[in-house]
Amino acid sequence: MSDKYQSFTQSPLGKILVKNLGLPAPTPLERYTAGDPLVDGTVVVGGTGRLAESLPGLLDTVGIASTAVTEDGQKYKGLVFDATGLSSADQLVALQQFFTPLMRSLASCPRVVVIGTPPEQCSGSERVAQRALEGFTRSLGKEIGRGGTSQLVYVAEGAEAAATSTLAFLLSPKSAYVSGQVVRIGATGTTKAAAVADWQQPLAGKVALVTGASRGIGEQIARVLHRDGATVVGVDVPQAANELQALMKELDGDWLTLDITAKDAPQRIAHHLSTKHGGVDVVVHNAGITRDKKLANMGEDRWESVIAVNLTAPEKITRELLAQKVVNKGGSIVGVASIAGIAGNVGQTNYAASKAGVIGFVDSLKDELKDGITINAVAPGFIITAMTAAVPLATREVGQRLNAMSQGGLPVDVAETIAWFASPGSTAVNGNVVRVCGQMMLGA
């Protein structure tokens, strides 16, 4: 699948029409390839908060070059500003003083990260200033252009050393289609990050369960987790057995064919993981279906099947794995929600309800989990797959252009976000919902 409009805008004729008619001109996004440096260039760091002194060391841990001194004519790949020291509204001018002189010095597909303190941990004027950072970063994400992204990372006090994994993700091409997001580190659960022996393969020795793994987004999740060192156990319906087995054999993984809505599915999955793998470290609830109709025309079967697959099954499977202690200490549970669950969508009341429910499931479990287990969710926007290729042209074009990057995302963009959640270095990242949507203009 490809974006034909984007390809056209890169042609000689397309460039002329884009310029003369003011049409969207989506920048081809840089994406990560195994073995590449995380950041192909230098990141400028600034600010005077809690992380200012430690930032260069955190970035150096994952091989990201940084500097606090800029040179005229030099292009930079990213900007990181520690705003944790801003304690009143009048101090917010520090954002303008740091960023304005540097915005024209950014290379293509740049990354901007602002670090703050969770407002709920502040009071008075400091709380006001820290909450203001969200409006700043979201707006910057919509004006940065050239494939650039802007994020806000709230780091709780005591969790400063746990920010490495998140900074590595947000400053690298792995976060190509993630922008305008707010990430919280250490706000819920532990403030510590587990040690990562090899940042190229952070999941080495880990076991990852992926439902709906035979194709599309699920296939890419399996591939990226395997790239990061995990043994992948793919789950899909019996009808997809051939595709599933072929993929898992290619990845040296394992597979299980079943209907996740079956009454005994949670027990079968738990038994398989316990007996064959001694437990599981990463659980990704990717399997999902759509049965679209406007509510006035929707039958009960359409409603119930979507809720059962997208929401009820992941909840039952997760609770069974936790009850049987199949999820290992420091494990990661990731739900795949959707932008539809946040903004809604015509003809998808059932689907939107199920995906909003996934977000509710994250909220309900984030404070209950023990043994360092985390739960987070990704909420994809318009991702180019075989399913979206069947969407009518006009609807498809609107879906792809109505975001800050004027293009659809790829399945690997969702997979990379999940791999960041799954990393042992992300054990202080808990209870987050991160949209993989190119910063949708509506509802995000």
Same fold, 31-185 and 207-436: yes
d(CA 38, CA 44): 15
Within 8 A by CB and 6+ apart from 39, the residues are: 63, 64, 65, 77, 78, 111, 171, 172
At 390 the pLDDT is 65
Copy the structure tokens of residue 114.
């602002």
Q: 207-436 in CATH: which number? A: 3.40.50.720
Give the residue ranges of the chain where pLDDT is below 50: none
Whole-structure pTM value:
0.95
Determine contact, residues 222/232, Cβ cutoff 8 Å: yes
Domain extent listing, the chain:
31-185, 207-436
DSSP letters, 289-309, are: ------GGG--HHHHHHHHII
Is there a catalytic annotation at residue 351? yes
DSSP letters, 340-362, are: HHHH--TT-HHHHHHHHHHHHHH
At 14 the pLDDT is 79
Copy the structure tokens of residue 297.
């025309």
| Residue 65 φ/ψ region, left for φ over 0, alpha for ψ in the -120 to 50 degree band, beta for the rest | beta
Q: Could you give the count of Cα atoms lying within 13 Å of 2 in the half-sphere of its Cβ?
A: 6
At 9 the pLDDT is 78
Q: 31-185 in CATH: which number? A: 3.40.50.720
Which residue in 76, 154, 177, 351 is the catalytic one? 351
At 21 the pLDDT is 77
At 393 the pLDDT is 67
The string of pLDDT tens digits covering residues 249-277 is: 999 999 999 999 999 999 999 999 999 99
H helices, E strands: number in the chain? 16, 13
